[in-house]
Amino acid sequence: MSGNQFDVVIVGAGFAGLYMLHRVLATGRTARVLEQASDVGGTWYWNRYPGARCDAESLAYSYSFSSDLEQEWTWSERYAQQPEILAYARHVADRFDLRQHIDFDSRVASADWDEALGSWVVKTGHNRMFRASVCIMATGCLSVPRRPDIKGLEDFSGHFYQASQWPTEPVNFKDQRVGLIGTGSSGIQAVPVIASEAAELTVFQRTPNFSVPAQNKVLDADWVDAFKARYSEHRENHRQGVGSGFGDLAVLPQAGPMDPVLFESLTADQARDILEAAWERGGARFMGAIGDTLMNPVANAFAQNFVHQKIKDIVDDPEIAAALCPSNHPIGTRRICVDSDYYATYNLPHVRLVNLLKDPIIQITEHGVELQSEHVALDTLVIATGFDAMTGALLSMNITGSKGLTLAEAWSEGPKTYLGLMSCGFPNLFMITGPGSPSVLSNMIVSIEQHVDFVMSCLEFMVDHQHQRVEPDPKSQSGWMEHVQEVANSTLFPQGGSWYLGANVPGKPRVFMPYAAGVGPYRLACDAVAEADFRGFEFA
Ligand code: N01
């Protein structure tokens, strides 16, 4: 048993788990990481579907904690593809000698707080047991895939793939009649790539999503050198910006810094010019080009119309273009997608869009998809139907805190946290990018580093003051959750009906989970808490 006793157990070896491990080991503590996959990388290990690419720019979506690492690693494209990001995660694990502290193929089945010993007992599926006074959930926000409740899904006898559980071996679409269900970020990235190989591609779309072009490019070496020469300045901007940590300084060589203005100060022509420039610049920062797009319904409607017009300009068939234009949510209130040639793919003769709102799926059959109007024969079926986001992984682990309280009970009406970092009744259990923090609304690596740094400061504070136990006080937690909802309600986000709200999972409480005020204000709030001796946390 003593071999399985550590100061800290970390669940997950994605970007959060790796950096957490690195920081914990650097203080001389012992730590073990439990990871269900066979390698590091988290979301970038699982999501190997064709076209998988980051929607944050490479030089911003990378660790800032080591200037040597940031100088020595070379990103090839403006938006890195999944294999390159996975290679980066592997490089980090090797460079900082982390692998020896990680148990792979080790899915956590339960975590129980032992009040008497003041430690967590974490068990894996293979019934291995680990004990640590501190347990850190670095389990990712989009790590529990969702299978749609479509009749007959198990009956399909052709090749079947789920985007977020893609096999490690190559998948061949040549000569295949491929069907794809799901048009969120994953489906939208996969469609052009599958279409480039398949004999036929049929996309089954229930709800269209807004997508903006990535304008992806191979990075220019001189520009990268110039960027790296000012890396610390860029990083500071990512950390402090009121935006989402993607950076307000231009990451693309030819684009100038964005200087957001409010919609009401613009004429329609000026607003259109700004959106046009943002479209040409590419990427998710389209949403920040006019500063109040996510708060002002008029500004939002203007941006919606702009993108609708773009879709109509790109897609030849007016009926298909109309079906691709989202109309049931304000733009950006569901995660804006970032694509390469998505809309233009529907001009290809072998690509077909089925509008499920007009012609719903009755069932999946052995040989294809039966719609209300016809049977579509398929050799391969791909589903890209999303995740049980933000709480899915945490609630799947049977976490039991003090006095026998389970996390499922504590969160039965939706997640409850203080700062997205801890939850009352679960002592010494930290979450990295948990619900109630900017997490999925931000550049995840910026938010991961900030959370890990906060946790480390908290652990050092505990050592300095000889505390053994920490958890939020209930009043601070409820105050923070009210604040998270208040901020969300000052935006258009709650109108999105998205996975941010749990709306994609039947029966899941509808609570807006991420903190929408931006990484800069959130960091200030956390810093103020830390400076005030971790106000709002109770120590014992
Ligand atoms: O999942 P989604 P995703 N019948 O939930 C459809 C991140 N990400 O994996 O809206 C038919 O967005 C569903 O339709 P509807 C990113 O944060 C990042 O694509 O429920 N369709 C929807 O179209 C993203 O937001 C990157 O009507 C069904 C789709 O499945 C998040 O992951 C890349 C259905 C699910 O879309 C999730 O994206 C990829 C059914 N029964 C992902 N059930 C980058 O970094 C569901 N759908 C670029």
- In tens, the pLDDT along 385-396 reads 999 999 999 999
- For atom 16 of ligand 1, the residue with the nearest CA is 185
Choice from 504, 505, 508, 513 to test ligand 1 binding pocket (greatest atom count within 8 A of CB) = 504
Ligand 1: lining residues by beta carbon, under 6 Å: 53-55, 142, 148, 150, 181-187, 189, 206-207, 335, 338, 356, 384-387, 440, 499, 504
- Ligand 1: nearest atom to the Cα of 440: 17
Question: How far apart are alpha carbons 35 and 99 in whole angstroms?
Answer: 11
With beta carbons less than 8 A apart as the criterion, state whether 440 and 391 touch.
Answer: no
Distance, CA of 216 to CA of 224 (rounded, Å): 15
C-alpha of residue 207 to centroid of ligand 1, in Å? 10
Ranges of beta strands (E only) in 453-508 are: 470-472
Give the residue whose CA is nearest to atom 40 of ligand 1: 148
Task: Find the helix packing angle between 519-531 and 231-240, rounded to 10°.
Answer: 80
Mutational test site, ligand 1, from 43, 86, 161, 185, max ligand atoms within 8 Å of CB? 185
C-alpha of residue 459 to centroid of ligand 1, in Å? 37
**Residue with token string 């190559």:** 170
Report which protein residue has its CA nearest ligand 1's atom 5. 386
Q: Would you state the torsion angle of the CA atoms of residues 234, 240, 244, 248, taken in this order, to the nearest 10 degrees?
A: -40
Q: Return d(Cα 387, Cα 142) in angstroms, integer.
A: 6
| Span from the CA of 182 to the centroid of ligand 1 (angstroms) | 6
pLDDT in tens, the chain (540 residues): 446 999 999 999 999 999 999 999 999 999 999 999 999 999 999 999 999 999 999 999 999 999 999 999 999 999 999 999 999 999 999 999 999 999 999 999 999 999 999 999 999 998 899 999 999 999 999 999 999 999 999 999 999 999 999 999 999 999 999 999 999 999 999 999 999 999 999 999 999 999 999 999 999 999 999 999 999 999 998 898 756 777 654 444 444 455 678 999 999 999 999 999 999 999 998 999 999 999 999 999 999 999 999 999 999 999 999 999 999 999 999 999 999 999 999 999 999 999 999 999 999 999 999 999 999 999 999 999 999 999 999 999 999 999 999 999 999 999 999 999 999 999 999 999 999 999 999 999 999 999 999 999 999 999 999 999 999 999 999 999 999 999 999 999 999 999 999 999 999 999 999 999 999 999 999 999 999 999 999 999
**Which numbered atom of ligand 1 lies nearest the CA of 54?**
45
